[in-house]
Structure 1
Amino acid sequence: MNYRHSFHAGNSADVVKHSLLIALVRALQQKPGALTLIDTHAGCGLYDLEGDTAQRTGEAMHGVMRAFADHDPLLDDYRAAVRAVNEGDDPRFYPGSPRVLEQLLRPQDVLILNEMHPEDAKALRAAMRGTPAAVHQRDAYELWLALLPTRTPRGMVVVDPPFEQTDERARITATLAAAHRKWAHGVTVIWYPLKDRDTHERWKAQLGRLGIPKFMTIEHWLYDADQPGIYNGAGLFIVNPPYAFTQGLPPMLEALRAALAPEGHSGTLTGEWLVR
């Protein structure tokens, strides 16, 4: 599955991912110590929802536009992050994870971004100009391991690949196992698309066998029954989610599910412990 960020900016997966990233960082920032935030597959950083690639799919209409039409206050932080990169109330531009994370930085925090694709890396540098973010253009899995343990006592790694390669899941599994050996207490967030339920269940079983404690899975299935051959939703694996985050998770997930449910479907958005 090819999931290039620019074609899917602002879709339902982005709404869920960025809402939960904001909640995760806010929970980590309840302690004053410095954080290192690392995004291994950062993309372009900022997307024009009226541009050719976004218009080709039109997925923002079923994601960010639904979130803006909703009035649940639990989505206020997400909507504020999108408004921060726009001049008016209506979202013309969409912030990728780099711009969302940059908005959350405190003076003591560090943001490290990586994007291997040459065109996207160039766009990322332009999008992050004037911010304190460091931008790399390296193999994502090599960088993930090279930067651990972080220089600050606490940190979070966001892994958000396009799933273009057939061995993407295997590389994530192997790198996560090695990363946990180096940095057992760190927070890791891994985004994934949901298309084939059997493939996903096999991958979950493989990850569960790594024996990593405090391993959560969040799954957003858009439709009430699987739609063969199409994108059915997305989710996150989260290693070491902070307590403040998990306590506030159920109402947040319900707010997101209700806002993003396609016409004629209720969908499901659940958070469960894969390993605890």
Structure 2
Amino acid sequence: MNYRHSFHAGNSADVVKHSLLIALVRALQQKPGALTLIDTHAGCGLYDLGGEQAQRTGEAAEGVVRAFADTNPLLDDYRAAVRSVNAGPAPDLYPGSPQFLAQLLRPQDVLILNEKHPEDARALRGAMRGTPAAVHERDAYELWLAMLPTRTPRGVVVVDPPYEQLDERDRIVATLAAAHRKWAHGVTVIWYPLKDRAAHQQWKGKLRRLGIPKVLVVEHWLYDVDRPGLYNGAGLFIVNPPYAFVQDLPPLLEALRSALAPAGQWGRIGADWLDDRG
């Protein structure tokens, strides 16, 4: 499955991912110690929702547009982050994860971004001009390991690949295993699309066999009945989530489910520990 950011900017998966990233980083920032934030597949950093690629899919209408039409205050932080890159009230531009992370930085925090595609990396540097972000143009999995352990006591690695390669999931499993050996206490966020349930269960089985103690699984299923072979939603594996984030998660997830449910659908979103799931 090819999931290039520019075709899907501002869709339902982005709304969930970025809302949870804000909550996660803010939970970690309840302590004053510095954080290193690393985005291994950073993309362009900023997306034109009126551009040809975004318009080809039209997915923002079911994501950020729905979130902006919603009134639940639990989504206020997300909406404020999107508004910060727009001149008017409507979301004409959509910030990628690097922009969300940059907005969360405190003076003591560090932001490291990586994008392997040269054209996207150039766009990323332009989008992040004026921020303290360091931008790399390397293989994502090589950089992931090279940056660990972080120079600050705590950190977050965000892994958000396009799933263009058939071995993408296997590379994630192998790199996460190596990363955990180097940085067992670190927080890692791995995004994935939900398409083939059987293949997804196999992948979760491989991750479970790594024996990492604290892996939270957040999954957002858009439809009440699976649509085999098609995009059904997205999820996040979160390694070592902070206690405050986990405690505050249920009402935020319900707010997201309600805001993003397609017409005529209830949808499902929930969080469980990986070692408790089948």
Query: What is the one-letter code of the residue matched to 1:187?
Result: V
SS of corresponding position for 1:101: helix
Secondary structure of 1:150's counterpart equals coil
Structure 1 residues 78-157: aligned runs within 5 Å: 78-157=78-157
SS in 1 for 2:31: coil
Which amino acid in 2 is paired with 1:6? S
Superposed CA deviations along residues 152-191 of structure 1, whole A, max 9, x for unmatched, are 0000000000000000000000000000000000000000
TM, length-normalised to structure 1? 0.99
What SS does structure 1 have at the residue aligned with 2:108?
coil
Matches of residues 199-238 of structure 1 in structure 2 within 5 Å? 199-238=199-238
Once the two structures are superposed, residues 125-156 of structure 1 have per-residue CA deviations (whole angstroms, 9 ceiling, x without a partner) of 00001110000000000000000000000000
1:43 counterpart residue number: 43
1:34 paired to 2:30: no
Q: In the alignment, what sits opposite 1:254? A: 254
Q: Which moved more, 1:96-105 or 1:227-236?
A: 227-236
2-side partners of 1:230 and 1:173: how far apart? 24
Q: Which amino acid aligns with 2:117?
A: H
1:191 is matched with 191
Partner Cα distance (1:107, 1:216) in 2: 29
- The unaligned stretches of length 5 or more in structure 2 are none
RMSD of Structure 2 on Structure 1 (CA): 0.7
- Secondary structure in 1 aligned to 2:220? strand
Match of 1:243 in 2: 243
Q: Which sections of structure 1, spanning at least 5 residues, go unmatched? A: none
CA distance in 2 between counterparts of 1:223 and 1:130 reads 41
- Name the TM-score, length of structure 2 as normaliser: 0.99
- Equivalent-residue separation in structure 1 for 2:275 and 2:218 (angstroms): 13
Q: Runs (4+) of structure 1 moved beyond 4 Å?
A: none
Deviation of 1:88 (Å): 1.2
Counterpart check, 1:271 vs 2:271? yes
Q: Match of 2:274, SS?
A: strand
Give the superposition deviation at 1:275: 3.0
CA positional deviation for 1:229 = 2.2
The SS at the match of 1:25 is helix
User: Which residue of structure 2 aligns with residue 63 of structure 1?
Assistant: 63
Residues 198-217 of structure 1 deviation map (CA, whole Å, 9 limit, x = unaligned): 01111111101100011110
Structure 1 residue 230 displacement after superposition:
1.3
